Structure 1
Amino acid sequence: MTTMLPAAESPSPRSPARVRLRPTMQSDLAYVLSVERDPANLPYITPWERTQHEAAIRFPDFRHFIIEGGDGLVSVGFLILIGCKSPNQSLELKRMVVQDKGAGYGRAALRVAKRVAFDDLGAHRFWLDVRTHNARARGVYESEGFVAEGTLRECVRGADGFDSLVVMSMLQAEFAARRAQGLESTA
């Protein structure tokens, strides 16, 4: 994908942020790695090596995006989708990392990612996992219509031992119902 995805103006006053997703370029990888390795983000993710990000940019089953936000649409984070070619139409939000927490960029980027997943890539199911102690992200995902499916107990090594992951998802019919209720943008 080489075109920019349109900026999203959030329909909710809880997310006034303006964002757009653009495909990540090789020249963006230093930025991606710096955001990913920021000490504020490390408790919530398992960082990738540069070669993993390079592969995600090239491999057709992945979509690697820079999140651009604010009035100047500057880089504010990145996100990765996996399963874009899945015959099961099950697409994963593998990673979303935002620099400025609390500015609404994550929520706005999630809304654009849902449109990409369901409208552009034809997903039946859009899913993610989130560490159980990441209450802020879990709250955003829940308020954006994701449903908790279960917990993968102590499956990733954290700084203080093992962390558990909550698996959350949204189905295409649920997305369509939210859109019909005016909770999802059509732009």
Structure 2
Amino acid sequence: MLTLQPLSPADLAFVIQSEQHPDNQRYVGQWTVEQYRNALDDPNYQCFLIIADGNPVGHCILYDLQNPDNSVLLKRIVIQTKGQGYGRIALENIMAYVFGVLKANRLWLDVRTFNERAEKLYQSIGFQYEGTQRKASHVDQEYVDLKLYGMLREEYNQRTGQAG
């Protein structure tokens, strides 16, 4: 059983450690504790701890919740415990929340071009490639491209068999 639990200040040590872990550091942005505290107080953000069997296995950040176009950005997803299928299940839960609870029209994300594992997961779950932002992310002292992926409410409803 995997669930999303609202992130609290008490969870920030786990979150920062997960982002800075060598398995994750090149693939995700790095925020300070202060940036997370600001996001926790900002209604435009929603941050979740990803819990499996009562233990944190990752976290995610949703952004632009007040966007008048109902387009939500999955700003970050980090899975600390790899190889258990948690990323796929977490994405399913995030999509259910974004489209079911928030009633968003669109969920989108970006992925660094060298993160092929994540890109394959996004494609396999139904995200559509929407374009590339050239040299939009600074990693390891160089600029790399970001690929943009999105899913529309009707695509989500189609894949889950839900009515419009």
Instruction: Give the TM-score, by structure 1 length.
Output: 0.84
CA RMSD of aligned residues (A): 1.1
- 1:11 — aligned with what? none
Query: 1:169: how far off?
Result: 0.1
Q: How does 1:166-177 map to 2 (within 5 A)?
A: 166-177=147-158
Q: Residue 114 of structure 2: which of 133, 136, 139 is its match?
A: 133
Query: 1:160: how far off?
Result: 5.0
How far apart in 1 are the matches of 2:64 and 2:100?
15
How far apart in 2 are the matches of 1:175 and 1:124?
10
Q: How many residues align?
A: 162
Query: 1:46: how far off?
Result: 2.0
Q: Residue 164 of structure 1: which of 131, 142, 145 is its match?
A: 145
Q: Residue 46 of structure 2: which of 58, 63, 66 is its match?
A: 63
Q: How does 1:1-187 map to 2 (within 5 A)?
A: 18-69=1-52, 72-159=53-140, 161-180=142-161
Query: 1:87: how far off?
Result: 0.9
How far apart in 2 are the matches of 1:79 and 1:125?
17
Where do 5+ consecutive residues of structure 2 fail to align? Answer: none
How far apart in 1 are the matches of 2:142 and 2:44?
32
Alignment identity in percent? 38
Q: Which runs of structure 1 show a deviation greater than 2 angstroms over 4 or more consecutive aligned residues?
A: none
Where do 5+ consecutive residues of structure 1 fail to align? Answer: 1-17, 182-187
- Listed one character per residue, the Cα deviations across residues 64-87 of structure 1 (whole Å, up to 9, x for unaligned) are 000001xx3200010010011211
